[in-house]
Chains A and B, each alone.
Chain A
Amino acid sequence: MIREPNALDVLYLIAAGRWTLALTALAFFGGGLMGILVMLLRIAPAAPVRWAAMGWIQAIQGTPLLAQLFVFFFGFAIFGYRVSPWVAAGVAFSIYASAFLAEIWRGCIEAVPRQQWEASAALGLSFPQQLRYVVVPQAFRIAIPPTVGFLVQLVKNTSLASTIGFIELTREGQITTGATFRPFTIYGIVAVLYFCICFPLSQLSQRLERRLHVAR
């Protein structure tokens, strides 16, 4: 039976927003850990290691996230694992985020002037020591604005998890639309909710970036 949308629907949509946030956090955490590893491999002194990392990044950045989601969703099943949408989405989004974060962070590492590397090498620091004590502390500041910017992309892209049955903001919107048949109203509200999450983050990213430019 088709019913009118009411205040409770809005409340349910807001409540579903927390799963969007939870998936974003999971992807950011998993993707961040993997991203650090990929980034380190990407700047490693040994060339074959760098190529492997580059291949990984190319493969992830060159295929649609939707395809990655489906490959992981069905991929677990063929190895005999029956996984929940949580696991499939968490793994797929972490892998997706790892490639992008690795590239962003590599850019930040490379933005640190070459002389800093040379000076620390001249002081007898090893490669890990150079990273740990000289380069990363400087790159960290540069990395914050684009990382926050990527977080916005991540929040928006979690909407694709709805396609594998993960219940978050978009999926809840689809369910509510099914019950009320008011797509314009419901998706409008969903869009506003996404905007409420993303807009402060993008503003923060821009402000941080401006402050960084002033400081330098």
Chain B
Amino acid sequence: MIYQFNFRDVFASIDMLLEGALLTLQLSAVTMAWGLAIGVAGALARSWGPPPVRLAATAYVEAIRNTPLLIQLFLVFFGLPSAGIRLDANTAAVVALSVNLGAYATEIIRAGVEAVHKSQIEAGLALGLSRLQVFRYVVLFPALKTIYPALASQFILLMLATSIVSQIAAAELFHMASILQSRTFRDFEVYIVAAAMYLAMALMFRALFALIHRLAFGR
């Protein structure tokens, strides 16, 4: 039997997929902002905090980095209600993704923080800045500059990983694709088109991050 490819049904409902792509971009952007914030705070805690804070930050990073995102998502969405915290699917998705990205971002930014030379920090302290001010004005910017490429590719991996939240029916591209699949029964065509859209978004993000790199750090 020769299979007849039929993309007509898929393209007839392309609006649905485009809407899904937009939701994915939105979800990714929100998560990236949270992940960056958590990452900076985590890096500060992990390399500059008092020992108990350091330990807590390390435990957070190791726990997240050594378990699958899918399980983290299930714990937030299905598990937290038994602790009295009930989140809807979209909120649970943002929480799980942010907590996940935050751990990776912490580790990446920490590497940048530790690459800043000790003499810079000492110079900052000698000028009478507080430790927090030194972190904010002396350490953070060069650190972010050093690790920018690693952070950017982690962000792109995150954007691709948002597809996983379709498993709790949070609204994004992959969820839309599975709705479309159940309507058209064009499994292969639907997922190929969805995959192509993810690829386009990944390339777009890469271009965007390169532009930001040029604008923020100059050359």
User: Chain A contacts of B65 at CB under 8 A?
Assistant: 152, 198, 202
Contact between A170 and B68 (Cβ–Cβ < 8 Å)?
yes
Residue of B nearest to A59 (CB): B199
- Chain A 74-118 interface 0/1 with B at a Cβ cutoff of 8 Å (1 = within): 110111100000000000000000000000000000000000000
Work out how many contacts link A and B, with CB atoms closer than 8 A: 114
User: Chain A contacts of B194 at CB under 8 A?
Assistant: 67
- Chain B 177-198 interface 0/1 with A at a Cβ cutoff of 8 Å (1 = within): 0000000000110011011101
Contact between B3 and A191 (Cβ–Cβ < 8 Å)?
no
Contact between A67 and B3 (Cβ–Cβ < 8 Å)?
no
Cβ contact of A191, chosen from B72, B161, B174, B196, cutoff 8 A: B72
- Chain A 159-170 interface 0/1 with B at a Cβ cutoff of 8 Å (1 = within): 110110000001
- Please list 13 pairs of residues, one from A and one from B, whose beta carbons are closer than 8 Å in the complex, sorted by A's number: A63-B198, A64-B161, A67-B191, A67-B194, A71-B188, A71-B192, A77-B187, A78-B187, A80-B1, A80-B3, A163-B167, A190-B71, A202-B65
Residue of B nearest to A20 (CB): B68
- Which residues of A line the B interface, CB within 8 A? 58-59, 61-68, 70-71, 74-75, 77-80, 152, 156-157, 159-160, 162-163, 170, 173-174, 177, 182-184, 187-188, 190-191, 194-195, 198-199, 202
User: Chain B contacts of A195 at CB under 8 A?
Assistant: 63, 66-67
Contact between B174 and A64 (Cβ–Cβ < 8 Å)?
yes
Range of interface residues on chain B?
35 or more
- The answer to whether A199 and B71 touch (CB under 8 A), given A71-B195, A74-B191, A183-B79, is no
Bound: A202/B66 CA distance, A: 8
User: Chain B contacts of A62 at CB under 8 A?
Assistant: 160, 198-199, 202-203
User: Chain A contacts of B161 at CB under 8 A?
Assistant: 64
- Chain B 50-76 interface 0/1 with A at a Cβ cutoff of 8 Å (1 = within): 000000000000110111111110110
Residue of B nearest to A201 (CB): B66
- The answer to whether A184 and B70 touch (CB under 8 A), given A67-B191, A70-B187, is no
Bound: A61/B70 CA distance, A: 19
Residue of A nearest to B164 (CB): A66
Shortest Cβ gap from A180 to chain B (Å): 12
User: Chain B contacts of A68 at CB under 8 A?
Assistant: 195
Residue of A nearest to B199 (CB): A62
Bound: A180/B82 CA distance, A: 13
Cβ contact of A184, chosen from B66, B79, B188, cutoff 8 A: B79
Shortest Cβ gap from A67 to chain B (Å): 4
Bound: A173/B3 CA distance, A: 36
B29 within 8 A of A: no
User: Chain B contacts of A67 at CB under 8 A?
Assistant: 163, 174, 191, 194-195, 198
Cβ contact of B82, chosen from A173, A184, A199, cutoff 8 A: A184
Cβ contact of B199, chosen from A63, A75, A188, A199, cutoff 8 A: A63
Contact between B70 and A162 (Cβ–Cβ < 8 Å)?
yes
User: Chain B contacts of A156 at CB under 8 A?
Assistant: 66-69
User: Chain B contacts of A152 at CB under 8 A?
Assistant: 65-66
Contact between A183 and B74 (Cβ–Cβ < 8 Å)?
yes
Bound: A64/B162 CA distance, A: 9
Contact between A194 and B199 (Cβ–Cβ < 8 Å)?
no
Contact between A184 and B164 (Cβ–Cβ < 8 Å)?
no
Shortest Cβ gap from B176 to chain A (Å): 13
User: Chain A contacts of B78 at CB under 8 A?
Assistant: 177, 183-184, 187
Q: Taking A194-B68, A202-B65 as given, write out 20 further A-B residue pairs in contact, using a Cβ cutoff of 8 Å, ordered by the A residue number.
A: A58-B199, A59-B199, A62-B198, A63-B195, A64-B161, A64-B164, A66-B164, A66-B174, A67-B191, A67-B195, A74-B188, A152-B65, A156-B68, A160-B68, A170-B70, A184-B79, A184-B80, A184-B83, A187-B74, A187-B78
Cβ contact of A71, chosen from B66, B163, B191, B203, cutoff 8 A: B191
Bound: A148/B187 CA distance, A: 35
Bound: A177/B1 CA distance, A: 41
Cβ contact of B198, chosen from A64, A157, A199, cutoff 8 A: A64
B166 within 8 A of A: yes
